[in-house]
Amino acid sequence: MERYPDLLNRDVLVTGGAHGLGAAIVRAFHEQGARTYFCDLDERAGRALSDELGEGAFFRKVDLLKEDEIRQWIDSIGAHDNVIRALVNNPAADPRIPLESMTARAWDNLFALNLRAYFLTCREAVKWMGEGSAIINLGSVAFHNAPAHMSAFVASKAAVLGLTRSLARELGPRRIRVNAVSPGWVLTERQMRDPPSVGFKRQLRQQQCIPDLLTPDEIASVVVFLASEASSAITGQEILADRGWAHS
């Protein structure tokens, strides 16, 4: 991975960092020498990753549906150093639920995690951000290819892109950048445990401009780039990291 000296010894926050793509992002920032603070509901996995990485990796169990827990976690980090360099909003639920089966409660719960939590972490983190800081929100290629039975997930990711664009305008005068990374289909731990059909993989390879399957490390590299000074000219943008799937 490219080295970004400006991230060395800087405070970085990653939500949903105990598994899959989130864990890859945590590892990527830790490799840059950033002080990497990450949260998750899975305390066992989070502490295991923190122990594995050692010095510079700090885990805390946080329920992102609870406003007070988010505030307490972020304020404890900001008060330590006064400047948070980057916030990465990663967690999301992506259930396959047909329209007729979607309840209002299920819709509201999904939006609470996929959007409300992003709003809350952004609101709390910017109190401790200064010039050169960055927010990176995770979107999804699903906004572009709009699969069936995922209307709530697709709508929530569309909203994440709207939040990203609006916050980029609002926070720009403070020299804080806000961008989104929308991954394609990524070969995470979950996908390996419950792999899709051979037919899906074959179709995916045909539809992507580059046929190779994506790995979490590749998405993490894009996230780290957007947190670094190397991307100082980029804000308010969605980076589609999907090997050209949406291009098809």
pLDDT in tens, 149-160: 999 999 999 999
Structural domains of the chain in order of their starting residue, each with its CATH number? 5-241 (3.40.50.720)
Higher pLDDT, 202 or 14: 14
pLDDT in tens, 199-220: 778 888 888 899 998 999 999 9
Q: What is the rounded CA–CA span in Å between residue 53 and residue 91?
A: 21
Residues whose CB is less than 8 angstroms from the CB of residue 203 and which lie 6 or more positions away in sequence, other chains included: none
Mean per-residue pLDDT over the chain, rounded: 94
Which stretches of the chain are DSSP H helices?
20-31, 43-53, 67-81, 104-111, 117-125, 142-145, 151-171, 189-193, 198-207, 216-227
Q: pLDDT grade, residue 246 (50/70/90)?
A: confident
Q: What is the rounded CA–CA span in Å between residue 62 and residue 60?
A: 6
Q: Stretch 55-65: mean pLDDT, rounded? A: 98
Residues whose CB is less than 8 angstroms from the CB of residue 27 and which lie 6 or more positions away in sequence, other chains included: 53, 217, 220
- Tell me the torsion sign for CA atoms 43, 86, 160, 142: negative
Helix or strand or coil: residue 38? strand
Number of Cβ atoms within 10 Å of the Cβ of 3: 12
Report, in angstroms and rounded to the nearest whole number, the Rg of the chain calculated over CA atoms.
17
Check if the beta carbon of residue 94 is closer than 8 Å to that of residue 150: yes
Nearest to 89 by CA among 228, 227, 246: 227
Tell me what pLDDT residue 201 has. Answer: 80
Check if the beta carbon of residue 125 is closer than 8 Å to that of residue 119: no
